Amino acid sequence: MESSFTPFSFINKLEPAEWHALQGIGHRDIYKKGSYIFRANELNDSLYVLLDGRIKITRLSQHGRELIQWFCLPGEIFGLSVDDNSRQRGLYATAISDAKLLCIPKCDFDQYILQHPRIALLIIKQLASRLRTLGDTLLNITSDGAHIRFIKLLQRLSKFYGREHGGEVYIDLYLTHQEMADMIGVCRQTVSSMIGRMKKHGIIASTRDGICIQSPVEFQQLSEQPDNYLQHYL
Amino acid sequence: MESSFTPFSFINKLEPAEWHALQGIGHRDIYKKGSYIFRANELNDSLYVLLDGRIKITRLSQHGRELIQWFCLPGEIFGLSVDDNSRQRGLYATAISDAKLLCIPKCDFDQYILQHPRIALLIIKQLASRLRTLGDTLLNITSDGAHIRFIKLLQRLSKFYGREHGGEVYIDLYLTHQEMADMIGVCRQTVSSMIGRMKKHGIIASTRDGICIQSPVEFQQLSEQPDNYLQHYL
DNA sequence: CTCACAGTGTCGCATGGGCGACAGCTTGGT
DNA sequence: ACCAAGCTGTCGCCCATGCGACACTGTGAG
């Protein structure tokens, strides 16, 4: 289980000795599907490394709307964004499948970093990369209409979770329409109807197991079309 | 000039020796108002510390829409988000007033971090905090209508750049309506008319020098109202 | 097997807010 | 002092999307 991690794995980048030391300062824990690892307003000074399972990181608006910021796959580190003053983070982490975690108290982790400055560079790189991704998403959401938002969502997903096979790209991540809607800030029905029309046009296929982009090249071209073209073509 | 930095200053948190060492690995440079420090697709391996002046960090959509992600004030460090592979960052940094910078090659900075691991913790904290802010913005933009987006923008701005004086909060940052629109993904006219109506209601005052929130408490309450209430009240 | 519930497909309506247009204003350059 | 260029205020039209409603399907628990 813990042997094959994703390309974004933090663990993969550690030397065996570093990884061993890290395990020494944390403890392992198991969370059942659907349970929270942390909540927005909890006082909580831990960091987490996901060993197995899948986590979603979300925010909640005043009015109950959920925004999914990203998914963590095995090997990734998360929970870095505790605010030192309030000791809160404004985020929720929820296990979307049973999950095995390494939990590390923040103060111990800080010590660990001081002793292993190389790791600091990894963390900085990782945070910088998330910052870029999040910024992309923000740009996408403020400046594009529903169609392009959705197309770019699929592109991000396939970049992170995609698997190519015979010219098609499979996204092995089962997401409900509601969840996708929550990632791009549109309503569920809009996602449903976009998927419906894209299926009709043979651009994507969608089943219980995930979504498949049938022609990545054509799909790429779609994302470059102006919004109003898509509205009428689709 | 370089003596009084903002509360978010990176420089302020350095020991004199650390700051001295940092200056040793960088060189100073001056950018005129309106010029780019870096562009999205430039190969560029530098980090920057802003000594004096003001910088805006933006992204550009395919179709020419600009999104302002944040402003840097003196003392802050920026440009951390270079992608190691592409050596690009997808971001623009523009001097919005004449700016004095310390420019540091990334590889030297990495060495510096390895030698001063304490700094790494500062950087991590800083990035985590930006990540939180950006996530907030994203939530705000996906789940709220124009009014609340704008109100929360003013709240963020006053948190970062505000100055309290006699129960009122002054935001000493001159922004055009267009710029504010670019920060929350609405069009210029919408911002203009919201400002107009809020002025009429005596909630804010806006002049050439910035915006003033006349009653922060009342303003806070506004942000908790549902969107449709605001649409009719304002 | 069957019932309950979660997820999906699809209407139709109401409306928020984008966008063009254009008339004042400022402001800075010469 | 004057002009050009950029910023602001304000209309009005119109369309993409949100939202309620409801029927249908698939799946997991008992």
Res A73: pLDDT: 87
Q: Which residues pair with A58 in a beta bridge?
A: A68, A92
Res B184: pLDDT: 95
All structural domains of chain A, each given as residue ranges with its CATH number in brackets, are 11-140 (2.60.120.10), 145-233 (1.10.10.10)
Name the residue with tokens 């929550």.
Answer: A182
pLDDT band for position A212 (50/70/90)? very high
Beta sheet of A27-31, edge-to-edge order: A27-31, A99-105, A46-52, A77-78
Q: Strand D: list positions under 7 Å from protein Cβ.
A: 6-12, 15-21, 26-27
What are the tens digits of pLDDT across the range A108-159? Answer: 999 999 999 999 999 999 999 999 999 999 999 999 999 999 999 999 999 8
Which of A106, A142, A155, A159 to probe by mutation at the B interface, max B CB count within 10 Å? A142
Given a cut of 60, is residue A23 above it in pLDDT?
yes
Res A3: pLDDT: 45
- Residue nearest C10 (alpha carbon to C1'): A193
What are the tens digits of pLDDT across the range B106-126? Answer: 999 999 999 999 999 999 999
Res B84: pLDDT: 75
What are the tens digits of pLDDT across the range A57-72? Answer: 999 988 888 999 988 8
Joined together, the tokens standing for residue A180 give 């996708």
In this complex, which of A61, A120, A142 lies closest to B143 when CB atoms are compared? A61
Task: For chain B, positions 206-225, list CB contacts with chain A under 8 A.
Answer: 224
Given a cut of 70, is residue A217 above it in pLDDT?
yes
- The per-residue pLDDT of chain A, averaged, comes to 89
Res B1: pLDDT: 45
More confident residue, A154 or A41: A154
Mean pLDDT over A16-35 rounds to: 92
* Minimal C-alpha gap between B175 and chain A (Å): 19
Residue type, A18: E
Helix then strand count (H, E) for chain B reads 8, 12
Q: Residue-wise over B177-201: b if at least 16 C-beta within 10 A, else e?
A: bebbbbbbbbeeebbeebbeebeee
What are the tens digits of pLDDT across the range B129-176? Answer: 999 999 999 999 999 999 999 999 999 999 888 888 888 999 988 899
Distance B53 CA to C27 C1' (A): 21
Q: How many CA atoms lie within 13 A of B172 on its CB side?
A: 8
Residue in chain A lying closest to B145 (CA) = A185
| Positions in chain B whose pLDDT score sits under 50 | 1-3
Given a cut of 70, is residue A1 above it in pLDDT?
no
Res B121: pLDDT: 93
CB-strand contact B145/C, under 7 Å: yes
Give the distance from CA B66 to its chain's centroid. 14
Q: Strand C: list positions under 7 Å from protein Cβ.
A: 6-12, 16-21, 26-27
